[in-house]
Structure 1
């Protein structure tokens, strides 16, 4: 069955972008084409190529104002063109060219409050790993493929699949008072298009990753976790299991990279797959999600923190300890008990994610995904009140709701990076209701 052409207004905006951008391409400088943005990693292994190329393309198109409804389809087409012409042998690095991220970054990340002052020494870098690819040269090739694809589509447009999303999704992130921004967030409203998933129900994916000790782990998770989710053999039949395994696989792959490059960073995360009338939430660490139904905040998860009794017991059973040094810390060092990365603290810092299936019954108003920069200073009830008041007072409705939440967290004393994603199921919201202790919605407790 041929895909529906979709919304005519989206079709028009997509064709306008193709024409405008195709005309701009020839005026770009060599530097604009070769280094459109700064890379976090400078070498890749072959298994990372698809995820990195898709992310680079999505990022480049977004920077150039590509309509959101076109980004995924164009990204998949660019990767297909890139893959068809790819000869990886020309991109392999010579052994002497391999280096760690820190070797290139003279503005090294400061130690943050999740970490002790421990760093990787040169001797920690594994130079005996698999052959590695030059990420900078690969990026240049991807940019060339983007330009050639846009020019081709402008001349001979394909069938543009531009279905308007039934979800309204807004995001905002700030560095705040921290010296570096180590958060990453992911918005993929059309997962099927990005991964060319045929005969699948409509699926969307959103995530927030809160990095610490450097941004490499958060960047890696934001680039690869959804790819590991989609490629898991249980993705179609058991998304919960696929979600937890995606976190585990991402951790395994990142630890391999960390060993090769001497990286020490880690990241917590929270992610959601929305598939028709069901939602699958996965989380690792203290990044959290809040679901609001008919004006009531609903507890759908419990964050992983060292002070939780079950987490403390797990860590102690492995031979570690949890100490209070301003905050509760694993082995007196790191203030999260589960995360991707954090190689020096494995196995005490686990990558075993939790996941839950939530049926969507029509009472859901919105979902908030955020890092602890928000949740450490705002309660679920405060978040619910802020969202509702903003929706009623703003002439733009909920358009700036994520900005409003970030501002409220900063004004409430948060000094951390703050990242927020708001997924709205409805445009009209109910007045907030006080959460009654012990009440249950969908088998989940309401919270205050």
Structure 2
């Protein structure tokens, strides 16, 4: 479902380029409370209007203006550099530069494979509040496959509507599967190039989190969690495992383990490769030996698996995504805990943000991506954004009441995996999945 956020455009403002304070702007929740609805016709009209862009970078990262072949170089500048003759900020861009360049009431369209639109409206509210802007968001939130399909259909029709793209999983996986050389060329067809050079955060984030077409913006900390039934573990006096190799202990023999019909090859691949590497057992022999110890319980989804574990109908799941498991762990009616093993896998580009190469509002997209990585915004993700956690781990969290699960997730000992190398784990994991060992 696509939603549009409308706000009162009247406010006092200072000169462009200065920080401005937002006044009189209703929150997303206040807007929803009015019962406002947007028709499909009006939505399409909104998506096609109000662009503040005068240029968009080509696949190589330079900016082409007005369809001609004039370019402005993207390198060699310092943060806070003066604008070009055309009035555009020069990279590397700072958030203040970009905030001063976007228009009042500027629009940004976000396509997110997170399944939840509210978190994105919350983020826009926080960004507006922090940097005195009045950006209005339109969000299409669904699963990653649906987001990928929508992008493809709009590109084929020559009607790109997305500005910022997050977790278009099918498109992301296709880029990986093509390998670094062909995948890079394919990524250039879809996304603005130069994120690793054109923004202030290029040198501020840890290694592997920034690629030319992608930056990790949320879902920080551990990227895998081992859900266990506290009811079953306490009744049987079981120890909570610290690593997957602990599960070879006799106390876990015969436990019922819930598996969705969809098994993540990337998760299985990392669990297998890393932990087999800590033993003298071959990779396929390791995962087969582990699964031979358990009774597989089939469930419809990873969410259903969390419910079954929480109700005591299964002892554990072998894995889940921390952000998917969080609502169940925090549900007091369910007896389920999330174990973050030592170490825990962390895809370095988890929570990825990309800018559509054909973005209708490229400067607003750049501003949104830049602002989202600022410490002030990242810190407020924990307090003001629905079901989301920051990606940055260098935040001062004093004074913030962080729940124990999220705190453990953010402080877990991590095993970072780069974008391109993650395909190797998926290949191994798919080999294991194809044997049928995870089926009931």
TM-score, normalisation: structure 2: 0.28
TM-score, normalisation: structure 1: 0.28
When Rg is computed on C-alpha atoms for both structures, the one with the higher figure is 2
Higher strand share: 1
